[in-house]
Structure 1
Amino acid sequence: MVTQLAQEAGAYVIGTGRAADREKALDFGAQEFVDLDNDSLEDVGKVDLVFDVIGGDIGKRSAGLVRAGGTLVSVVEPSEARPDNGLAVDFVVESDRAQLNEIVQRVRDGRLRTNIGKIATLDEAVAAFNPTERIRGKTVIQVRP
C-alpha cells in the first residue's frame, strides 16, 4: 500500500525487489523498478526518501541513496547505516483507529488495493505462517466464516 499512498501524494516511486516482483510493483504504482539480483541499486542516484522493507545489506546500501535533507525509514529493523546529512527513522506501528478506518474505506471504495497471497482459517494459522513454499503477498487469517 505504501507505493500507492506515495504515488497519491505525488511522489515518483522506484520499487525494488526480485525479478518476480517487478510486475506487481509496477502494477501497484511504481514508475521504475530495480531488480536487486541483476541491476545496481546505486544506479538509482540520490532520492528524497527510502522506505526500507528488506533490511540487512539492502537497508545499509539504501542509506547511501538518501540525498542531503532526505529520510530513510525502516520498517524491518533499526537501521545500522544512517544517511549522510539526512534523517533515519525506525518505524513503529501505533494503532490509530481513525487512520485504520480511513485505510479500510479506501480499500472498500477501490482507492487502495491490497496484496493478499493467502487466506487461511484460524485452525490453519500456524501452518500458514510456516509455509513450505514462498507465498507472494500477505497472509490473512480468517477468524469468522
Structure 2
Amino acid sequence: MRVITQQAVGDPAVLELVEAACPEPGYGQVLIRTGAVGVNPVDAHVRSGALPMLGEPPFTVGWDIAGTVETAGPGVSAFVAGDEVMGMLALPGAGNTYADYVLASVNEIVSKPAGLTVEQAAGLPMAGLTAWQSLVGLAHLQPGQRVLVHRAAGGVGHLAVQIAKALGAHVIATASAGKHDLLRRLGADEPVDYRTRDFTEVGSVDAVFDLVGGEYGARSARIVAPGGVLVSACPQDTGLTPELITELGIRHAVTFVHPSAPDLARLTALVQAGRLTVHVDQVLSLAEAVKAHEIVAAGAVTGKLVLVP
C-alpha cells in the first residue's frame, strides 16, 4: 500500500509518499480501506516537530479516517467487511491515517451516516469531537445561553456553531465578513467581523469557545458573565492567568480531544437529524499531502480539507 511518512521533522517537504506492507488487524481491530482522510492542524504541528507527540521520525501523521472495513480482526462483532465507518484514532498515539489502509480499534470508530459523503465523514471526527467535548463535556452548554465561538468558520468552529445551535444556544460567531453567509446557514445568530468590529461589543455571554488563544483569551474572559465558562482549545497559549479567572469569577477549562465512539455516535445522530453537516473546502489526493500542509499553514481553510487515495 501507499503511505505518507517522514524521516525528519520540518516543513511540509519532509512528507514522502512510499510503499509499505499492508497491516493485519489484531484483536479488537479492523482494517479500513481508506476512502478519505481529514487533515487537521495537529498533523502539521507533529510533522514540524512543534508538538513532539510521536517521538523521533520516521512516523506517519493523521488521525481522521473514513472508509470501508476490509477485514475484521479476532473478537470483532460490531463491524464486518464492507461496512462504511469513520473515526478519530489513537490520539495521542499514532493514528497513521495518511495511508491506503488503516488499522482502527472498534472503540474509536462508528458507522458512517448516510447523510455524509466519505469526504465529509473524514472531516468530522477530530474537529467534531473537539467541539462536542468542549461545548457539552466542559462548558455544559444549556438551552437559551449565549455562546461566543471564535474562528467560527474553521474546521472546529463551523461544527461548534451547529452543535451549539442544536443545544439551543444563542450563537455569536467571529469570522471575516465573506464567511458570514455560510455561518448564518449553519445557524449562527450573530456573525461578527473581527476585522471591523471589536467582538467584546456583543455584550455579556455565558460561554466562550476560544479557538484563537493569546490576547483573545483575556479579552474574551472579560465578557463572560460571573459563573460562566471560557473553554480554550489552544492549551499552549490560552492568554489567561489563574488570577484573572479568580478576579472575574468565571470558570476556565482547556480542551484535550480524545477518541470516543460514544461521542462520535452523538455527532452522527445530529447528522441523521439534519442538525449537523461538514463543509469541505478542498479535496486533494494523498499524493498531494505536501500541498495540503502548505494550505493549512496559510490558515485560509473554510471548514475542512481532506485527502483521498
In the alignment, the residues of structure 1 paired with residue 293 and residue 218 of structure 2 have an alpha-carbon distance, to the nearest angstrom, of: 27
1:91 paired with 2:255, answer yes
2:231 to 49, 54, 73: 73
Q: 1:123 aligns to what?
A: 287
2:185 to 8, 27, 37: 27
Q: 1:138 aligns to what?
A: 304
Q: 1:64 aligns to what?
A: 222
Per the normalisation by structure 1, the TM-score is: 0.87
Per the normalisation by structure 2, the TM-score is: 0.43
Paired residues, number:
143
Shift, 1:21, TM fit: 2.1
Superposed structure 1 runs of 4+ greater than 4 Å apart: none
In the alignment, the residues of structure 1 paired with residue 287 and residue 251 of structure 2 have an alpha-carbon distance, to the nearest angstrom, of: 43
Partner-residue secondary structure (3-state), 2:231: strand
Matched-pair contact (CA < 8 Å) for 1:107–1:114: no
Matched-pair contact (CA < 8 Å) for 1:79–1:88: no
Shift, 1:111, TM fit: 2.7
Shift, 1:32, TM fit: 0.7
Gaps of 5+ in 2: 1-158
Partner-residue secondary structure (3-state), 1:103: helix
Flag the structure with more relative contact order, 1 or 2, with Cα contacts below 8 A and sequence separation at least 6: 2
Amino acid at match of 2:282: K
In the alignment, the residues of structure 1 paired with residue 220 and residue 161 of structure 2 have an alpha-carbon distance, to the nearest angstrom, of: 17
- RMSD value, Cα: 2.0
In the alignment, the residues of structure 2 paired with residue 109 and residue 45 of structure 1 have an alpha-carbon distance, to the nearest angstrom, of: 32
1:2 to 160, 175, 181: 160
